[in-house]
Every structure is written in C-alpha cells, then in structure tokens.
Amino acid sequence: MAIIAPFRGTTYNIHSGYDLSKLVAPPYDVISEKEQDEFYQADPHNIIRLILGKRKMGDSDWDNRYTRAADDYSRWESEGILMRSAHPGIYLTSLTYAPGNGEDHRTRWGMVCLVKIEDEGSKVILPHEKTFSAHKDDRLKLMRACNAQFSQIFGLYEDPDNAVLNACKDEATASPQISFEFKDGTKHQMWRLQGHSLFKKIAQTLAEKPIFIADGHHRYETSRNYRNILRKKYGRRHTSQSYEYVMMYLSNMNDKGLTILPSHRLVTAAPEVETQPFLESLEEWFDITGFPFSDMDIPDQCTKLKRELEEKGSHNTVMAFCHHNAELLYLFSLKPDAREKVGKDIHPALRKLDVLVLSKLVLQKALGFTRSDLDNSETFHYQSHMETAVTEVASGKYQMAFLLNPTKMEHVREIAGNSLVMPRKSTYFYPKVLTGLVFNKINPNETIYTP
C-alpha cells in the first residue's frame, strides 16, 4: 500500500517580497547550458545554484558544484532566504498553461507530499521508463552533499471521483500563499494545507492505489539509493525515519488538465539513406503515403500534419518521416498484420507503443541501429514541438526526424501496471513541475508524521 504523509516543507521566504518567478526553474535534466546561464543571471538565489550548479576549472573532491550547492543551501537557510515550516503540511498547487492545441488554457492540479519509498518490484510505485546510471550518480552526489530533495517526483494516481483534490480544495483558503507567472507564460499557485482529518482522508484514499511515475525516474531511484546508504549508517530504527520517504507531486491521471506531448526523434548521424530504397524496405510493414510539404510555411504545414497524424493514429500506429534531402514528408501507417513483427517475445502492451514500433521496425531493422545506438545521446535527440523538429531537419542541423503522436495515457497505465518499461523518452508530460516551490530537508534523526 502507498503510504502518504505531510512534511515540514522548506520554501523561499514568502514574507520577504521575493519575485518567485525569478527563483524557480524547470527540472535539471531539461535545462540547456544557455538556460542555465539565464537562470544564474535571473537572481543570485535562483534554485539553479542548488540543482544544476556550474562546473569550474580546478574542481576537486572538496570544492565542486555539489559542495557549493550545499554551502549555498546552508547559507540561504541561515540568512532567512529559505524558511522551513514548523508543522507538517501538504501543498496544493495549480498550474495554468496553454496546451498548444488551440485551447486557450488548461489547469492541472496537484499536491506535494511525502510518499514512502518502495523496494523495486513492490507494485506500489510503478515506473514506466528505463533509467541510466550516469544521471543517478549525479543526483546521488547532490543529495548526499545537501541532505535534501529539491525537486518533486511527478506521480499519477487514479481517482475518478476526484475525492482527493476535492478534499484539498475544501481546505484551501481563498488566497494562495504563492502566486506568480513564470517566464514561459505558465501561471502557478500554491496553498499550504493542514489538518489531521484532511491528512487522514488523503492517506486512506490513496492507500490502496498504485502511483505511476510520470517524470523523475532517475530521482526516484536516487532517493531509494540514498535511503539505503542512510539505512546502513543509521539503521532501520523506525519505518517513519525521514530518509524512508521521497517528496512527490501527485496528480490525478483522470484530471482533464493533464497533457502528454509527443517525443519526436531527431537523428544527427545515420547510415547514408537514399529515400526510395529506404521506403521500399519498409513496405513489408507499413502503408506509405507522401505528404506534400514546403519549408516556406512550416507552421501551417505542421498544423495539417498534426491533424493527419491524429486522425490516422487514433486506432493505429502512424508516424511521419522527414529527411533533409527529401522534397516530401512521408506517412508510415502500420499494416494490420505487422504488429507481431515487432517481436513475439515482446509483451502485447509494449507492442501497442508507436515508439517501440519505430524502434524495432524502422530504426533497428530498416536502418541498422543497435539497441545501444538508440541510447546514444550524440546520435538521437528528442523534441516535443513538431515545428522545431521539422525546421531543424530542413536547416540541415539534423539528418532526419521521425514525428510521432503522443503516447496515450491508457498505454502508460497498462505498461506500468504490468511492471514493464517503455523505451527512453516515450512520454513528455507537460508542463514540467517547477523546482523551487517547496523542498524536503532530510534530517536522519527526524521521523515523519503519518496520519
């Protein structure tokens, strides 16, 4: 069963008049070097200095970006820039954004709380994507240096009646403690909620429900590794020790404000591809049609292509292919009897995924990439915005792109529920959960209040 708990969150001092829009940042793994510089310049106390500090010439074991993050964190606490709540709470958040599909806006609701870390295979907290050791090593160094969790794991739960969110809204005051607009146009609000009866209702409602990890797989596994390190050092004195828990942002997967964007594949280097022989090699598995395209009006062309992909992909695997030397785009529609060609040894739930069909039939069988090639970040890049992907192929920055529909929520649920994992970058839950709204300080001698 999932164990949910309130916690004594650390936030920027909301009474000091700070402009929170200049202090927060997206998760570390979607921040480019250029954006890192911009966040550094936005404010000397921007969260970037904690989650993605700059490397310096002469970095050593005793002076590096992790130790500097720990020093900044400690100093900001002592100077009152950060404040920790005296009592446990759960943090209700709303995020209003433009989904980019013609709608004016959507609002996604979530709550930030602690969730007890589970051992692998427990079927309580379910991942859906594979992870990579380098990312986990990096986050573990930061966690060990700072003894804190700065970014929430993004988790999803099923609640068709919306009982959890309704209970939270009933306890929220009219005015949020935090309200600001981020530089990307998203609007954020946060309320700190208290009350034993509320905590108990949330804990009881979610106790028998699995939690699906939408984003933050590396950070979740890092939290488990950190827990194991502290268990060896301090023992398992109590199941409510602070290091037994991880901070999560939980949202109802039935929430209409939830958006999954596509994760288009861009390729920098592939075997030399001649369009016609390549297309002929795919005819065994796909029906192929040309899509008229001109780089003179990419936004309008992409609007039409998105509509075509959505209509044809509602009950089938459909993708588009563009090559920087080709005069047309091409649509690949999987033939009815071709899905088993993905691999009979692959679980039927995985065979439904467009990204797996692309990986197995197109990238590996037709183009000759190996599985290790597909994990090479120098060769494969990912982009959620079709216009950007097509523009960068047309300019020659990338050799080719494969344009996809978003992964369906029901597929995420089915795959996680079967303890399976998707290929890398199969989903892009949008928008990302901002880092800097609330942190979780980990004191090994503290215990967590469980309702």
As a whole number of angstroms, the distance between CA 80 and CA 46 comes to: 15
> Residue 424's closest CA among 205, 219, 263?
263
Q: Dihedrals φ, ψ of 270, to 5°?
A: -140, 165
Tokens found for residue 438? 């609330």
pLDDT in tens, 14-69: 888 889 999 999 999 889 999 999 999 999 999 999 999 999 998 899 999 999 99
- Distance between CA atoms of residues 47 and 39, nearest Å: 8
Mean pLDDT per block of 10 residues along the chain (451 residues) reads 94 88 94 95 97 93 95 97 96 93 85 95 82 81 97 94 95 91 96 95 93 91 95 83 97 92 90 82 95 80 91 94 85 93 90 94 92 86 92 91 94 84 86 95 93 82
> Tokens 């939690």 label which residue?
211
pLDDT at 128: 73
Q: Which helix (H) or strand (E) holds 166?
A: helix 163-171
Buried b or exposed e, range 26-57, using 16+ CB within 10 angstroms: bbbbebeeeebeebeebbebbbbbbbbbeeee
Q: Collapsing DSSP states into helix, strand and coil, what is residue 78? A: helix
**In this structure, what DSSP letter does residue 253 have?**
T
| Cα distance between residue 374 and residue 205, in whole Å | 40
In whole angstroms, what separates CA 126 from the centre of its chain?
A: 14
Q: From CA 183, how far away is CA 80, in angstroms rounded?
A: 25
Nearest Cα residue to 222 out of 141, 314, 287: 141
pLDDT value of residue 273 = 74
pLDDT at 297: 81
CA distance 82 to 76: 6
Q: Are 120 and 263 in contact (CB under 8 A)?
A: no
Residue whose tokens read 């005819």: 283
Longest dimension (CA), the chain: 67
Q: Which amino acid is at 257?
A: G
Q: Which two tokens stand for residue 297?
A: 């009006």
Cross-strand partners of 447:
241
Angle at 408 (CA atoms; ends 403, 412), nearest 5 degrees? 115
Which residue's entry shows tokens 């959890």? 164
| Predicted confidence (pLDDT) per residue in 302-334, tens digit | 989 999 999 999 999 999 999 887 778 999 999
* Residue closest to 139 by CA, chosen among 43, 53, 62, 77: 53
Q: How far apart are CA 432 and CA 260, in angstroms?
A: 11
Q: Say what the pTM is.
A: 0.90
- Domain definitions of the chain by residue range: 4-259+431-441, 263-405
CA distance 388 to 269: 18
Q: Which run of H or E residues covers position 386? A: helix 386-394
- The pLDDT of residue 101 is 63
Angle at 101 between CA 96 and CA 103, to 5 degrees: 50
By C-alpha distance, which of 285, 293, 165, 149 is closest to 220?
A: 149
List phi, psi (to 5°) of 403.
-105, 130
Q: Give Cα 355 to chain centroid, integer Å.
A: 17
> What 3-state class would DSSP assign to 330?
strand
Q: Could you tell me if 60 and 137 are in contact, meaning their C-beta atoms sit under 8 angstroms apart? A: no
Q: Confirm if 190 and 93 have CB atoms less than 8 A apart.
A: yes
